[in-house]
Amino acid sequence: YLRRHSFLKHQSMCYHDNSLVSASLEALIQHLVPTVDYYPDIRFREVAPKLVQLLTEWTETFPYDFRDERMMRCLKDMTHHVARGDEYSWRAMQQMTQRLIKRLSALGQYEEAVAALNAVAMERPASLKSKQASAQRSDVLSVCDDPFVLAQQLTHIELDRLSFIGPEEFIQTFAMKDPLENHKGFFRKRKTSNLEAYVNWFNRLSYLVATEICMPVKKKHRARIIEFFIDVAQECFNIGNFNSLMAIITGMNMSPVARLKKTWNKVNTDKFEILEHQMDPSSNFSNYRTALRGATQRSETAHSSQEKIVIPFFSLLIKDIYFLNEGCANRLANGHINFEKLWELAKQVSEFLVWRQVVCPFDRDRRILQYLVTTPVFTEDELHLASYESEGPENNMEKDSRRSLRWVLTQRIRTFKPINQTHQNDNGF
């Protein structure tokens, strides 16, 4: 055993400060799989608790692996074998399986809710903006006029959606298929639907903000909504909800909103400029990264549930993981697996897993949540036309654009068939 272990350590595994840096796949398998020589005179009763610990860690960290029926069969077979050797381990396996089934059931319900909402959003375009129609339509201020309350409800949605993102989805989003991977393996089907749903939520919130600003007839009302969303963004920053903060800033910087100069002239933009500075993309978002570190440190020493909240700017998190994955090789020149890269990936994903486990401490407001996730939003074309109708074209190019948009959207409305709008969810999905 000692000769074998020494050979593996010095010939096929590389260490630095007692940390594994790289190893060949064959050496790792040899090192992890017990044999008669490797664990002399060992009994199953001694192995069972370690096996339960390994499977518990697996099912809790990567529960989505067990959506595959073959994986569940393997888990049931393992439970059957453990039951014959150790009653305590068998009870632990039963509890672990129950938690796993509960988690997968919740995941299925979540995905069905998101799919239903997406179907409604895609088949129910917002009505073409007109002076008469917009005067009768509800806006965000009629649903919630308290910036702190709206920021709380946005945080509910963010944490709900974050909690269903599996850690493997980050790598599966952009990882190339390993040529050594058996295409008949358990994990050949890559699923990133929950991550994609979260990115879609960011886009929806940005368009919702732009829609709310471009929709009102009166300039004074538009200015009030801009100021309201600035206050909401500030509250999101204070909470640690950087994803909603960035979505609001993105919506307010869309060209149909940015061109409303007469409206912006009525707005005190001091707070907005400070928020934009915090999320400035220059120097690789250095200001935001500083704020994120501050929020993370606050979370680690939190004395209340609210102080634990850290919701990162998600697109940048994905970008960071992407460049780390692309910038470092999975295998070194000697064929060893690059553990330094994997440690760094694990560090970033593990930090995210801590953030997503926070339970939102704020009271839910069903009416506000439903408005945020179901109210119709303008498409890009509709936003531009609404902007032109709020503040007329300033040059011939904008006049031509307005004329073209009117014709296109009129044709679109004529071919639109309403559907039965019954899909809503109280959880803010």
* Residue range 327-381, pLDDT digits in tens: 888 888 888 888 888 888 889 889 999 999 999 999 999 999 989 998 888 989 9
> Would you list the domain boundaries of the chain?
34-123, 127-176+199-389
Using one digit for the tens of pLDDT, what is the confidence trace for 274-324?
999 999 999 999 999 999 999 999 999 998 889 999 999 999 999 998 888
CA angle 66, 182, 168 (to 5 degrees): 40
Q: What is the mean pLDDT of residues 401-427?
A: 64
Over pLDDT 70: what percentage of the chain? 77
DSSP state, residue 185: S
In this structure, what are the phi and psi dihedrals at residue 71, rounded to the nearest 5 degrees? -65, -40
Q: What is the DSSP string of 112-157?
A: HHHHHHHHHHHHSPPPPP-HHHHHHS--HHHH---HHHHHHHHHHH
Residue whose tokens read 């953030």: 355
- How far apart are the C-alpha atoms of 271 and 225, rounded to whole Å? 14
Minimum mean pLDDT among 111-115, 121-125, 323-327: which range? 121-125
Using one digit for the tens of pLDDT, what is the confidence trace for 10-54?
456 676 666 767 777 777 666 656 555 554 344 556 667 778 888
Which residue would you say has higher pLDDT here, 422 or 252?
252
Phi-psi region of 240 (alpha: psi -120 to 50; beta: other; left: phi over 0): left
User: For residue 139, is pLDDT > 60?
Assistant: yes
Alpha carbon distance, N-terminus to C-terminus of the chain: 54
Residue whose tokens read 């067990």: 66
- How far apart are the C-alpha atoms of 86 and 83, rounded to whole Å? 6
Phi-psi region of 285 (alpha: psi -120 to 50; beta: other; left: phi over 0): left
> Which strand ranges, in their side-by-side order, compose the sheet holding 337-338?
13-16, 19-23, 337-338
User: For residue 131, is pLDDT > 60?
Assistant: no
- Does the predicted model carry a pTM greater than 0.75? yes
Which residue would you say has higher pLDDT here, 408 or 81?
408
- 127-176+199-389 in CATH: which number? 1.10.840.10
Which residue would you say has higher pLDDT here, 298 or 137?
298
Per-residue pLDDT, 23: 72
Confidence class for position 266, pLDDT limits 50, 70, 90? very high
